[in-house]
Structure 1
Amino acid sequence: MAEVKIQAESRTEFGKGAARRIRRDNKVPAVLYGHGTDPVHITLPGHDTMLALKTANALLLIEVAGSESLLALPKQVQRDPLKGTIEHVDLVIVKRGEKVEVEIAVHVEGEAVSGTLVVLENATVLVEAEATHIPDGVTVSIEGLDAGTAIHASDLKLPAGTTLAVDPETLIVNITTGTTAEELEADLAAAPGAEATEAAAEPVAAAAE
């Protein structure tokens, strides 16, 4: 994964008022921590940060004037619930060659046998990888698989240097028999309250006569 260079500024003002002023200038308050260092409070350029964080597990090279450049991964990103804009970012410092645990996306490709239902039980999986070689995701092929097939974490084909950090038996994809229109109609008819609805309808029909 390529590093994304971001020019940051030191931050000395704190609190809600200061944060609002920073955001009005199209910047993002953030904090860097990890490796036994004291938290470093910084301000990031809003547009560059938004673009960088569109990629999961983006590896950022944070450059602060007068300080050494630091590699960091986004730990927590706070967004405005309505606008979706970034309000604050927690960044964890990493070192080259260091292994970290991250969630990567699971991508499903292909088509299972006709009439089956494919359920993605876990859209991400926790893995351990080098901070500078975090995979974008892992792809699972379901091409031609029958109902009853279960794909577990241990079945995933991870890139070299990446290992599982979850129970190998964690269910990732489950392929079951699909529900037919007839079965769905039968299930609806047998649902609680169905008979009561029909019985309630009879007096209305009689009254209409």
Structure 2
Amino acid sequence: MSAEKIAAEVRTEFGKGAARRLRADKKIPAVLYGHGEEPAHLALPYHVTMMALKHGGANALLELDIDGKDQLALTKAIQVDPIRRVIEHLDFIAVKRGEKVTVDVPVVVTGEAVRNTLVVTDNTTVQIEAEATHIPESIEISIEGAEAGTQLHASDLTLPKGSVLLSDGDLLLVNVTEAQAADTGEEPAAEAEGDAAEADAAE
């Protein structure tokens, strides 16, 4: 995962009023934590940051230019307005190149199971350890041709080189079962015909 470079401004005003003014100016308030230093309160340009997060996924890695000094920042929390669906606040963790980090990565199910099966996704993420600049956006697992009774666990994943699975290997990701026929409330035709024959014989 390559880091998107973004110019960040240091914030000197805090509180809801200051945050509203930043958003009106098309900027996102953010806080950078990590490495034993005091949290840095920042303001990031909205559009560029939003596109970088969209491209990088849940664990987007940004390279923040703070007063001329570059700092790698791993996205840890994104606060979104539930109505307008715009980013309101960001939390980052400061990381270094070569540093190992623990992240939750989405699992993407690909392919199709055989007909008349039901595919149930039990868990959509796994926790891994990876180098900060090589965090996968997602990890794929295929159910192509899977039959009823197939179960895929975290241990079945093929992880990118350098990544280590931290989730329990027995964590169930996908369960393929037989599809249940819909209950129409009608008797099967053979049973209905049998009942009719018995009724005729009794008359």
| TM class, shorter-length | 0.7 to 0.9
Please state how far the C-alpha of 1:136 moved relative to its aligned partner. Answer: 1.8
Please give the alpha-carbon distance, in whole angstroms, between the structure 1 residues aligned to 2:75 and 2:154: 24
The residue type equivalent to 2:133 in the other structure is T
The residue type equivalent to 2:135 in the other structure is I
Please give the alpha-carbon distance, in whole angstroms, between the structure 2 residues aligned to 1:138 and 1:93: 24
Please give the alpha-carbon distance, in whole angstroms, between the structure 2 residues aligned to 1:97 and 1:149: 38
Query: Which residue does the alignment assign to 1:203?
Result: none
Query: Which residue does the alignment assign to 2:12?
Result: 12
Query: Which residue does the alignment assign to 1:58?
Result: 60
**Matches of residues 28-107 of structure 1 in structure 2 within 5 Å?**
28-54=28-54, 55-56=56-57, 57-66=59-68, 68-107=69-108
Please give the alpha-carbon distance, in whole angstroms, between the structure 2 residues aligned to 1:17 and 1:110: 49
Query: Which residue does the alignment assign to 2:184?
Result: 185
Please give the alpha-carbon distance, in whole angstroms, between the structure 2 residues aligned to 1:89 and 1:26: 14
Please state how far the C-alpha of 1:2 moved relative to its aligned partner. Answer: 1.1
Please give the alpha-carbon distance, in whole angstroms, between the structure 1 residues aligned to 2:82 and 2:112: 35
Query: Which residue does the alignment assign to 2:23?
Result: 23
Please state how far the C-alpha of 1:124 moved relative to its aligned partner. Answer: 1.5
Please give the alpha-carbon distance, in whole angstroms, between the structure 1 residues aligned to 2:119 and 2:12: 52
**Matches of residues 93-172 of structure 1 in structure 2 within 5 Å?**
93-172=94-173
Residues 113-169 of structure 1, C-alpha deviation per residue, up to 9 Å, x if partnerless?
Answer: 111101111112111110000112111111111111110001111111111111111
Please state how far the C-alpha of 1:97 moved relative to its aligned partner. Answer: 0.6
Please give the alpha-carbon distance, in whole angstroms, between the structure 2 residues aligned to 1:107 and 1:45: 31
Please give the alpha-carbon distance, in whole angstroms, between the structure 2 residues aligned to 1:52 and 1:15: 26
The residue type equivalent to 1:185 in the other structure is T
Which secondary structure does the structure 1 equivalent of 2:102 belong to?
A: strand
Please give the alpha-carbon distance, in whole angstroms, between the structure 2 residues aligned to 1:27 and 1:128: 32
Query: Which residue does the alignment assign to 2:176?
Result: 175
Aligned-residue identity in percent:
57
Please give the alpha-carbon distance, in whole angstroms, between the structure 2 residues aligned to 1:74 and 1:141: 28
The residue type equivalent to 1:65 in the other structure is D
Residues 58-116 of structure 1, C-alpha deviation per residue, up to 9 Å, x if partnerless?
Answer: 110000125x2110111111111111111110110011111111111211111111111
Residues 8-45 of structure 1, C-alpha deviation per residue, up to 9 Å, x if partnerless?
Answer: 10100000111111110000111111010110111000
What runs of 5+ residues in structure 2 fail to find an aligned partner? 186-203
Relative to the length of structure 1, the TM-score reads 0.85
Q: CA RMSD in A?
A: 1.1
Please give the alpha-carbon distance, in whole angstroms, between the structure 1 residues aligned to 2:163 and 2:16: 40
Which secondary structure does the structure 1 equivalent of 2:77 belong to?
A: strand
Which secondary structure does the structure 2 equivalent of 1:69 belong to?
A: strand
Which secondary structure does the structure 1 equivalent of 2:17 belong to?
A: helix
